[in-house]
Amino acid sequence: MHVLDTDHMTVLERGGTQALALSLRLNGLADTEVATTIVSYEEQCKGWLAMTSRERDEALIRAYAQLGQNLAIYAGMLVLPYDRRAHTVFLTLQSQRIRIGTQDLKIAAIALANDATLLTRNVAHFSRVPNLRAEDWTK
């Protein structure tokens, strides 16, 4: 299984050459082999919700359209939960004092709990997590 980090989800949303490279590789996989995490959904939703709370008029309409587009993307794919297995892995990683952010550590824990490869542009960052396979498919 391949799990898209938040940055890869953002690439897909924005389009462009990196999205094309990523999409070409993802298209070679079965739908059941591609997922993202509930933590990535949380991260992106926080950003879109902050935007909808501060925008006005036409910008507000665009912000809600982008929030809807984001929802459609997540609804169309497997979203892995932060469940008991992931939480157990998270606590183990946390006790090792791995120097990455809490949200990234949760994403790593979900990938490890599902024996998945994490697709991220932050390969060097996630390489601090023992036994985590991380690749960048946007190149």
Give me the mean pLDDT over the 63-70 stretch: 94
Give me the mean pLDDT over the 38-43 stretch: 97
Report the chain's mean pLDDT, rounded to a whole number. Answer: 96
Instruction: Give the model's pLDDT for residue 94.
Output: 97
Query: Could you identify the residue written with the tokens 């960052």?
Result: 125
Instruction: Give the model's pLDDT for residue 72.
Output: 94
Q: How far is CA 86 from CA 39, 57, 105, 113, in A?
A: 11, 41, 10, 5
Tokens of 55: 């925008």
What homologous superfamily does CATH list for 2-135?
5'-nuclease (3.40.50.1010)
The amino acid occupying position 42 is E
pTM of the model: 0.94
pLDDT value at 139 more than 90: no
What's the rounded Cα separation, in Å, for the pair 38 and 107?
9
What's the rounded Cα separation, in Å, for the pair 133 and 62?
37
Instruction: Give the model's pLDDT for residue 71.
Output: 95
pLDDT value at 73 more than 90: yes
Instruction: Give the model's pLDDT for residue 114.
Output: 98
Q: Which of 92, 124, 126 is CA-nearest to residue 107?
A: 126
pLDDT value at 29 more than 90: yes
